Chains A and B, each alone.
Chain A
Amino acid sequence: MRGARSNNGAAAIVAAALSFFIACAALATDDIPRKAETCIACHGPGGNSTDPGMPSLAGQPAQFISMQLYMFREGNRKDPQMTPIASALSNADMNELASYFSRQKPAAPSHRTAAENAAAGRRLAEQHHCVQCHGPALLGLQHIPRLAGQQFAYLKAQLRGFKASTRFDMDGQMSSAAQPLSDKDIEILADYLSGLGGQ
């Protein structure tokens, strides 16, 4: 009995310590880097975009964010808004921003997938090997972006860009994967992905 009680006591101390550390971690997370304020103006608070054409950054893998910023600055990926913003960032800035947005919680998707596209979208995601790199739940990893819950119009624009070989592609994988997609496939895929939740 005594043993059990002292275990409880120890557990309570551990729990208190843990909640303290979690609170500290939450505080640290809320501490928005000054440079992120520019990003938030378009990508939304915490990197959760509400504009269908503007990608969400919340919960994206840090390596994906830093690599895209780098590619914008170096001129590999081009965008009239992002290119000048990225050109002012150092590698350390990019790492800091990537770390911040990767730690933010993605909001539940506001997009609602059409009923007839849920199964069809999943089928396309498997048939065209999206799940092979972006992961079974399309949450991304390393330098590969999270697609689940990404903005609908943005996803469509990227897929069309890959198909037309106008969107920067690090190693040719996406340009190659997008070739067989019809306009309708792109519509269904984007509709499916944009409505996906998950952490």
Chain B
Amino acid sequence: MSISSASTVSLTRAMSHAAAALLALGGFAAHAQQQAKPAAAPTPPPSWQQGRSAEQEKSTLHPFAIHVTGKPAKELPVDKLKVPAGFKVEVWVDGVPAARSMALGDKGTVFVGNRQAKNVYAVVNRGGKREVKTVLKGLDTPNGVAFRKGTLYVAERHRITRYDGIEDRLDNPPEGKVVIDNLDPNKAPGHFWKFLAMGPDGKLYFNIGAPGNIVMPSYREGSISRVDPKSGIMENVAMGVRNSVGFDWHPKTKELWFTNHARDWLSDDLPNDTLHRVTRKGLHFGYPFCHQGDTLDPVYGKGRDCKEFTPPALKLGAHVAPIGMRFYTGKMFPAEYQNNIFIALRGSWNRTIKQGYNVTRVTFDEKGSPKAQPFLTGFLVDEKADPPMWGRPSDVMVMRDGSLLVSDDHNGIIYRVSYGKK
């Protein structure tokens, strides 16, 4: 609809639908307001409450904020952490602010991104002692980190940059070179932080989350996309993905697998957060029309059928918040762990009885059907308390020795899980 030819009535409608855009026109909007006198736009509720039903208006459920200044491990009940017999869990390093996504450098540096700080941190081994260094500063939501052949790639809210040869100059890092920019032209609310991983095809994969809990995404939101760092060409890989902040490729089939966060405020048990397999480019996984492969959305599902969309490989539980995931390819754990998936479940807030808050192991039977079981537990203290936990797993990474690192952004700690005497 063209604004200049609009009637007063349709202009009123345009005002209420696109108030922000019209207000940006300044004087014109003021003039239109005088003529049409539309009611002032109501204040939107905070984005985490978007999609609540009328009955949920008195709900006391709310997200849990992290300790951005971190908590020293010695102040936390880390002795409550549990792993299966034969495994050992220990604090690997603390004092990594808001530690979330991890990437391993060629020379052993562990790069750590986050959602709340402006820096990227690195954990280095200096004379046998682990040390946390601030390597990049002044970034915008540098959640995604990936490393390949000497280059660190960082996904900020709005762009992806590369830092060549950074491991040789951690104290004096090179200027970032832009791989792709303008990923968030509208400063969209909701899921604006990005996960980043490099695929076997040498392309960088990242999510563009839905701009709210349950809203109609634009053609490039609610997606996993990829960009070729050589050409800068970007493509959508998967659509209908509300927010995926963890993915990895199957070591044998080279297929992409990803975790996905389902919508909130439907109920305690619906819908499930999910694990997905991408058999080809261009599939649609359902959001916002169909959740968990079999549940139509009460609003956006009208007139749709879940058969239109690709179902998940596995339901992980409602609101469990799966973040980072990795296939286990190390040599340290027992043979049956080979090519299993580890998933960091950051844990539920939008649920009366809390669940998640663990690292889950996904195994496959002889038919290739996945099954989940808790692997690292003990973060959840009281499923009815507020807050119910003392820590939250947010990413997992297999080290070269085969041990598994687990980041905890709530406290700024990284744990290490090992097997046997190592």
Contact = CB atoms under 8 A, between A and B. Distances in A.
B117 A74 contact: yes
Contacts of B49: 129, 132
Nearest to B119: A74
State the majority secondary structure of interface residues on A: helix
A73 to B, nearest CB: 9
Given A74-B117, A76-B118, A69 B69 contact: yes
Contacts of B189: 171-172, 176
B188 to A, nearest CB: 9
Interface stretch (A27-35, A90-98, A108-116): A90-98
A75 interface: yes
Interface residues of A, number: 30
Given A91-B97, A132-B45, A173-B46, A75 B68 contact: no
Nearest to A144: B65
Nearest to A173: B46
Contact of B46 (A94, A129, A180): A129
Interface string B252-272: 000000000000000000000
A142 B45 CA distance: 19
Interface residues of B, number: 27
B187 interface: yes
Given A129-B43, A132-B45, A176-B44, A63 B65 contact: yes
B116 interface: yes
B64 A70 contact: no
B67 A66 contact: yes
A129 B43 CA distance: 8
Contact of A75 (B97, B116, B118): B118
Contacts of B43: 127-129, 177, 179-180
Nearest to B387: A142
B69 A132 contact: no
A8 B42 CA distance: 59
Contacts of A132: 45-46, 49
A54 interface: no
A170 B46 CA distance: 13
Contacts of A167: none
Interface of B: 40-47, 49, 62, 64-65, 67-72, 95, 97, 116-119, 138, 187, 189
16 contacts: A67-B69, A69-B69, A75-B118, A75-B138, A91-B69, A91-B95, A92-B72, A94-B69, A128-B43, A129-B45, A132-B45, A132-B46, A132-B49, A143-B65, A177-B46, A179-B43
Interface of A: 63, 66-67, 69-70, 74-76, 91-92, 94-95, 98, 127-129, 132-133, 141-144, 170-173, 176-177, 179-180
